[in-house]
Amino acid sequence: MNADKRELFGTDGIRGVANIHPMTVETALRVARAAGYIFQKDDSRHQVLIGKDTRLSCYMLEGALVAGLCSMGVDVLQVGPLPTPAVAYITRSLRADAGIMISASHNPYADNGIKFFSGDGFKLPDSVEHRMEELIFSGEIDSIRPTAHRVGKAYRIDDARGRYIEFVKASFPKEMTLEGVKVVLDCANGALYKIAPRVFFELGAEVIPIAVEPNGRNINDGCGAQHPETVRKATIESGADVGMAFDGDGDRLLMCDRNGDFLDGDCMMAICACDMIAKRRLPKDTMVATVMSNLGLTTTVENAGGNVIRSKVGDRYVVEKMLEHGLNFGGEQSGHIVFFDHNTTGDGVIAALQLLAIKQEKGATLAELRCGFERFPQTQLNVQIKRKQPLEELPEVWDKIKHYEAQLGNEGRLLVRFSGTEPLLRIMVEGRDTTQIEAIAKDIGEAVGAVLG
């Protein structure tokens, strides 16, 4: 199997339409067997934790994963609907050998996905995912069939939600409360629907929860971080101080102030990084952002005396870069924000609490906090494609990319990449002239559509 070719895993686990390859029960069963083999270190009993979001298809896939793990002699800990960062934390808390989250994050309910955490709460590196694919397609472990007492068992963990609520509350300063703060929480009818309202209520906020009635089909449907107009409308109409929108699995955050103006991941990271630099809580005065983050983030952090290192797109690549350089803070423009001081992966609730702690400490509004962040004009275009082919092999596209990179020079950036989870080619152009960058994105998009669309 070619080490560069990934047949199942994308940038964030395995994802697709539920009940169609690769998101079938057959594949889930084989993936679970491969995982059970990889995560067993010796002859003792091993445990793998499984969480899920609120999609209808989670029941189907969870059953297949449980069966596959038990068939390899691994015990399974089922925690029910929990956000992805909770799975990372509870896996560590229960000292499980690995954690699995069943979710397609911000995608529509018909999609689903499977992503893994190691026993220390980090997403798996590419090398381990590649080994898992080798095991799945080679038949190497087909003959491994524990019997009798060596077959695994499944257990329900009833207190996982409460454990996570107390865990995230502990990330908020003990001497501080949210009394007098009115918040709108858009929980996307997803995994945070019971957790987020409890957290903010118990910290003293006046909570207006929306999208907290999941039915298996309405996750991310006109709500959550993918549909910011919903939280904006509710925030303005209710006169709330802050609006927060999470995605379906709770690892992503979007915020708006009382006027309905948004703070995306770059803006939130700029506020937090500058605060951490001032308090000497940012190792090496350096944070990690992906290649998609706005130049304005770099400028803001550098003006505060800090530095920004870039990683590939994907929060696990942000985490890898943080580990490589011994850093504790990083994230994505999309709202995946990682605070190693609190969790090992992007956590929407923890990110929100860190922003609100700064707000409370400074006695400022979100609008006042965000005024120090100056964004470079940026445009993004997604082009639907039928196949993925190296852009260097398409001269009608590649020549345009190189031409526009030279044209932008040091006054902008151009990034063209294939999505790791969807049949899309993503184009991002950044510069000082909005008309120019929109024209560049359109021209490249049309060229791509003509050959790959």
- Positive or negative, the CA dihedral 393, 395, 400, 405 is positive
H-only helix segments in 76-125: 84-93
Supply φ then ψ for residue 55, to 5 degrees: -70, 145
Tell me, what DSSP letter sits at residue 116? E
Is 127 labeled as catalytic in the residue annotation? no
- Which of 105, 171, 311, 334 is an active site residue? 105
Rounded distance between C-alpha atoms, residue 285 and residue 304, angstroms: 9
H-only helix segments in 239-377: 265-278, 295-303, 315-325, 348-362, 366-370
Burial of 18 per CB tally in 10 Å (0-12, 13-18, 19+): buried
Triad 124, 18, 39: Cα angle to 5°: 25
Other C-beta atoms closer than 10 Å to the C-beta of 228 total 19
Sequence-distant (≥ 6) Cβ neighbours of residue 131 within 8 angstroms: 38
Peptide bond before residue 22 is cis, with ω within 30 degrees of 0: yes
Burial of 138 per CB tally in 10 Å (0-12, 13-18, 19+): exposed
Tell me, what DSSP letter sits at residue 122? P
Other C-beta atoms closer than 10 Å to the C-beta of 134 total 13
Q: Which residues are catalytic?
A: 105
